[in-house]
Structure 1
Amino acid sequence: MTQPSEPAVPLSPNEQRLPPLQLLLVAIQHVLLMYGGAVAVPLIVGQAAGLSREEIAFLINADLLVAGIATVVQSLGIGPLGIRMPVMMGASFAAVGSMVVMAGMPGVGMPGIFGATIAAGFFGLLIAPFVCKIVRFFPPLVTGTVITSIGLSLFPVAVNWAGGGSAATQFGALQYLAIAALVLVTILLVNRFLRGFWVNVSVLIGMALGYVLAGAFGMVDLSGIGAAPAMQVVTPNHFGAPEFQLAPILSMCLVVVIIFVESAGMFLALGKITGQEVDPQKLRRGLLCDAGASFLAGFMNTFTHSSFAQNIGLVQMTGVRSRYVTAVAGLFLIGLSLLPKAAFLVASIPPAVLGGAGIAMFGMVAATGIKILQEADIGDRRNQLLVAVSIGLGMAPVVRPEFFAHLPHWMEPITHSGIAMATLSAVTLNLLFNVLGGRERATLSGAALH
């Protein structure tokens, strides 16, 4: 008589294997959402350095290649690298201010920027095993505050997109608002009346309809796509051999520290969303991948890399928590880096289309933070003060970017990042209120790791 077989242990959402069509469509959503941010950094730095349109296009393809490789490694894991969760990687905005300054410095230029990026990536590889230990200082009180701040700091991006983007000749014109509204309403209706597969691709459906309406309004610009080469391979050191200069290196090393602080908060947020415990070992793997991507980026003509917060909102929005989705999205990015025409087509998505989707997804990030705060003793007045001050400081550079303009330039990676400001404030105030003086509280014990 045969023994009854034991029931199969269900896979965690992080390990879920989706049907091929659903896998591809959700992966495309991730690519479409992060593409604007991925190309923005090389656009800004390339223009500041006075590069030609062809050279800037090469920078963009280089960024897509490294972002794709780093995304695959973060999602699947290779050796000691990769957090093995649904993470999308791309060029970090934390370094933009420093790199724009470097681009205008005599004798620095692109080789100096790439040399500083390589050195900063190597520095990150050295310190990642030590930085990962800070996870014990991110109890639900701190994590919830940081995640709420991430969502709130992204809202101005979504609103700017919905109004037509920074380049709009008439910001807030009715056609921009109509497109953003169509995308947002479509997402809401799909989530209200449909189920399963359709909910998972609701963002893609909304953006597709928005793209069609934008095309009808004549807002989709495909001029120049014919001149783009059919295929182009990114080659190392395209702008010459990297140059290593002390001041740019020190500035970029500071940027890497800020990236680590931001990434730690976002990895913990993603852990809450996907139901994965982000212990020091897992966090170390994620940070090592961040640093390794930046180290590679300097050789491949691009910049420091980090995880993208907006894609965390998409994970929460769709409910698809599989790391294989972002791995496929990473392969898409690698493919786009080889196909300039395809990359050009994705880049033609008007900002208003992204804005309608961003309002829903970035709001979901903030809602996740509020949910996590319910696990903390939020009735305590001091904890309320921690949340209030940290979110307030996090919003300062968002509401008025020039608020810290008179502070030293080396502080810009911190003072220009709302996420970094909120994270540093929340960690510091938690130490002051709940740890120092022997007053160990439940807020820390819940996250204490052995």
Structure 2
Amino acid sequence: MTILADANPALGYVPPARAGKVHPVDEVLPIGQLAAYGFQHVLAFYAGAVLVPIIIAGALNLDQQQLIHLINADLFTCGIASLLQAVGVWKIGVRLPLLQGVTFTAVSPMIAIGLTAGGGTPGLLAIYGSVLVAGVFTFLVAGHFAKLVRFFPPVVTGSVILIIGIALLPVAANDIVMGKGPNAIQNPVMLKNIAYALGTLALIVAIQRISTGFMATVAVLAGLVIGTLVAWILGDAHFGEVAKADWVGYTMPFYFGMPTFSITAILSMIIVMIITMVETTGDVYATGEIVKKRIRQDDIGRAIRADGLATFIGGVFNSFPYTCFAENVGLVRLTQIKSRWVVAAAAVIMIILGSLPKAAAIVAGIPHPVLGGAALAMFAAVAVVGIQTLSKVDFNNHANIVIVSTSVGLGMLVTAQPFVADAFPPWAQIMFGSGITLGAVAAIGLNIVFNHLGAGHATVVAGRPGDHAVTLADVNAMSSAAFSKTFGGLVENTPWVLERAYAMKPFADTIALRTAFHDALLTGSAEEQLQLMNSFADLGSEGDADNAYRLDHVNAGIDGLDAEDQGHVLELARAYRKHFAFPLIVCAREVERYERVLANGWSRMANSPGVERAAGLIEIAKIANYRFDDLVANANPIAAAHIERFVQHPA
């Protein structure tokens, strides 16, 4: 029997060979596959990788040769940074398929630092001084920061990412108009520039609409290539520097000179790196979920140490702050190629590209309007990521509304009117000269004030503020009877739903409270679900004037029909109940006209009872959602001034 057990894993014993099976993250693929998949990562990454040095060079008025060196330095250091993160050494690097690139968070602050120092090479040297110190700071605090993740919930990270995306859009717009003011807008050259930008943007959108899979991930790169080709054919893209550039070169440390150090610039860059740590933390958790690998606190510390060391190396080799590139996290999800050695292969390819000045010269020849059109798509996409993150936030808690609105407002103030910084002393101008920095500091500070200091900001979920208001803490302390009296109107006072929702206490926020009712609906037996459905009145019936379901339809404008239309609705309701033995349930808030109710209801008569029961439960969940929103809106009139009030009538 022992022999059989050893030979048959189904009997419960796992042979030693299988017990030591390599995790997909650590799997070393054949050389050909590593090269192919690695090059795919480079293609998806390339446009974003070179965008930052191009933007910085344009803002600081650097010449073409300086731009070529910046691009080479960026690619070269990206390769080193990615090797640190994916391969790892000592306690540095999370050892996941994460590609490193220059963070867009730093663009606006770096431009502010550079221009404050006078632009050109002096501006670069001020940037590199702040990058060096910020890199050391990040490396040293990595382990401590990993313990502070609770101070950066989605309300903070979402606000910061949204601000980053919106604050960078003017940079793209400036590239499109080539820095010209409104007086030049009718100039034929200006109109051509706008045409290049909009054409590039249209190409990117078209590729993403028509293509699927890998091609969609390189839509920005394809748009840049095609837009540049069109500009070259029309004589507006010039590549004279390509012939002058060497075939092979190397990135020299401190190529532009020894960095200069400014306290205000350093503080600004440290704030950028704190934001970058939050970004990296999110990317690590996202990648861990994709590759099915548990992420621990130590993993976050190793990932951030890699960012810190890569940023310090960037300051030495004439590059900028580094973070995990979200675009390539998406590519891992898309391809399901989980090996970190694929990213290592991509890193080697980038180091090679960073040693080819001619390749950088070609990239440097991309016309600014074409680049601006692509940048519009990329920066707006960053803002969308922020919106997606904010979708996880409980906005029934008024404190979260204050955090997001105030931080975004401050960020946009400085972005729209950058001269505001001139009103402050020099030490504060770096902070107030960057919408990203000011908005991020505001989001972090307000989150601490509202959610971590003192007793906190109570979330009111029922009643009226200051007048028997029911807070989330009150709900968690309620008896079953009080819970049923407060929330019974959500589900027609059906006892079993209320009992099971109550059993899911405590509720962390209003989202958890809402989810409890959804989950409770799914746990009911067939008989219980039928009881719930039969608690709803028939459509079109006079019934109880105070029936909540009837009031839903009155408030939606579906009730109050003339006699003929009322008769049609009642005829459908009676036929439906006779056929299925439960009422036709329709969420009134999602119906535009009663004719749709009739058409949809009669068509559903051909469905099986099981399908209709499931459809009815879905409609009940929608109705409960809207009633819950109304209940919270009554309790929080400032947060939802225009939501119709839900009138609750407990049994």
Cα distance, 1:222 vs. partner?
0.5
Cα distance, 1:328 vs. partner?
5.2
What is aligned with 1:270?
A: 283
What is aligned with 1:87?
A: 100
Task: Report the residue type matching 1:288 in the other structure.
Answer: R
Cα distance, 1:434 vs. partner?
2.2
Task: Report the residue type matching 1:399 in the other structure.
Answer: A
* Structure 2 residue 406 is matched with structure 1 residue 389: yes
1-structure distance, mates of 2:35, 2:93: 24
Say if 2:158 and 2:386, in contact at 8 Å, map to a contact too: yes
Say if 1:200 and 1:319, in contact at 8 Å, map to a contact too: no
1:148-187 equivalent positions in 2, closer than 5 A: 148-161=162-175, 163-166=176-179, 173-187=190-204
Q: 2:363 aligns with which of 320, 327, 346?
A: 346
1:11-410 equivalent positions in 2, closer than 5 A: 21=36, 23-41=38-56, 47=62, 57-58=68-69, 61-83=72-94, 84=96, 85-89=98-102, 92-93=106-107, 94-99=109-114, 101=116, 118-161=132-175, 163-166=176-179, 173-238=190-255, 242=258, 248=261, 250-271=263-284, 274=287, 276=289, 280-300=297-317, 302=318, 304-307=320-323, 312=326, 320=334, 330-410=347-427
Cα distance, 1:117 vs. partner?
5.2
2-structure distance, mates of 1:74, 1:210: 34
Say if 1:147 and 1:369, in contact at 8 Å, map to a contact too: yes
What fraction of aligned residue pairs are identical, expressed as a percent?
A: 28
- Secondary structure at 1:307's aligned position in 2? strand
Cα distance, 1:70 vs. partner?
1.9
- Secondary structure at 2:454's aligned position in 1? helix
TM-score (norm 1): 0.77
- Secondary structure at 1:359's aligned position in 2? helix
Task: Report the residue type matching 1:127 in the other structure.
Answer: V
Residues 57/181 of structure 1: CA separation in 2 closer, same or farther (3 Å cut) = closer
1-structure distance, mates of 2:383, 2:124: 37
Residues 88/118 of structure 1: CA separation in 2 closer, same or farther (3 Å cut) = closer
Cα distance, 1:305 vs. partner?
1.9
Say if 2:399 and 2:457, in contact at 8 Å, map to a contact too: no
Cα distance, 1:391 vs. partner?
0.9
Say if 1:86 and 1:324, in contact at 8 Å, map to a contact too: no
Q: Tell me how many residue pairs correspond in the alignment.
A: 429
CA deviations 1:351-370 (Å, max 9, x no partner) are 33333333333333222222
Cα distance, 1:137 vs. partner?
0.7
Cα distance, 1:335 vs. partner?
2.5
Task: Report the residue type matching 1:30 in the other structure.
Answer: F
Please tell me the root mean square deviation across aligned C-alpha atoms, in Å: 4.2
Cα distance, 1:385 vs. partner?
1.9
1-structure distance, mates of 2:452, 2:391: 20
Say if 1:31 and 1:332, in contact at 8 Å, map to a contact too: no
Residues 238/33 of structure 1: CA separation in 2 closer, same or farther (3 Å cut) = closer
CA deviations 1:45-71 (Å, max 9, x no partner) are 685xxxx87567545544443343224
1-structure distance, mates of 2:417, 2:248: 42
Residues 317/429 of structure 1: CA separation in 2 closer, same or farther (3 Å cut) = farther
Q: 2:438 aligns with which of 421, 424, 431?
A: 421
TM-score (norm 2): 0.56
1-structure distance, mates of 2:128, 2:389: 39
Say if 1:317 and 1:364, in contact at 8 Å, map to a contact too: no
Say if 2:407 and 2:443, in contact at 8 Å, map to a contact too: yes
Residues 278/41 of structure 1: CA separation in 2 closer, same or farther (3 Å cut) = farther
Task: Report the residue type matching 1:262 in the other structure.
Answer: I
Cα distance, 1:345 vs. partner?
0.4
Q: 2:447 aligns with which of 430, 433, 438?
A: 430
Larger RCO, structure (CA 8 Å, separation 6 or more): 1
Say if 2:169 and 2:376, in contact at 8 Å, map to a contact too: yes
Cα distance, 1:400 vs. partner?
1.6
Residues 228/166 of structure 1: CA separation in 2 closer, same or farther (3 Å cut) = same
1-structure distance, mates of 2:64, 2:353: 18
User: In terms of mean alpha carbon deviation, does 60-69 or 137-146 score higher?
Assistant: 60-69
Residues 22/313 of structure 1: CA separation in 2 closer, same or farther (3 Å cut) = closer
- Secondary structure at 1:378's aligned position in 2? coil
Structure 2 gap ranges (5+) = 459-507, 513-651
2-structure distance, mates of 1:401, 1:39: 21
Say if 1:147 and 1:265, in contact at 8 Å, map to a contact too: no
Structure 1 gap ranges (5+) = none
Cα distance, 1:232 vs. partner?
1.9
Residues 124/154 of structure 1: CA separation in 2 closer, same or farther (3 Å cut) = same
Residues 189/250 of structure 1: CA separation in 2 closer, same or farther (3 Å cut) = closer
